[in-house]
Amino acid sequence: MAFFAWSNSLAAGVSQNPLDTSGAEWKYKYVPYDCVVEILHRATAVGVVCQITSGSDEIQQSSPLSAGGVTGVLTGRLNVEPVTFKAKAGDLLMISYRNTTAGAINVDGTIELTRAG
């Protein structure tokens, strides 16, 4: 099982992939084995949209991210509906956040890979 957590500030108008951030690149962004992927994430304010891809599959089209909570506090599945899907070995996982507001917003989240089969 592979696990990664993040808490990042998004400046106004900025896009970011927390799995590929300078200085904090996740070594499993290329899926090492067939697995089930579970992402729990949320923003601290309204105005962030998110797109998720796995290989050539678009898992989530650009859509609003749930808002609420406190910066730096990782959310649990009681507060946020997880994004869950299957991924194949070698797929590149991408989570793209875009801040559509005029101010900075924090995004906190976790990703977990559970081996399939």
Strand pairing class (48-54; 2-10): unpaired
How does pLDDT run across 56-78, given as a tens digit for each residue? 999 999 999 999 988 888 888 88
| Regions of the chain short of the pLDDT cut 70 | none
pTM: 0.94
The pLDDT assigned to 25 comes to 86
Mean of all residue pLDDT scores within the chain:
94
CATH number at 2-115: 2.60.120.680
> In degrees rounded to 5, what are phi and psi of residue 18?
-65, -15
Task: Considering only the C-alpha atoms of the chain, give the largest distance between any 2 of them, rounded to a whole number of Å.
Answer: 45
Per-residue tokens: 75 = 């959310």
In the block, residue with structure tokens 């609420």: 68
The pLDDT assigned to 26 comes to 93
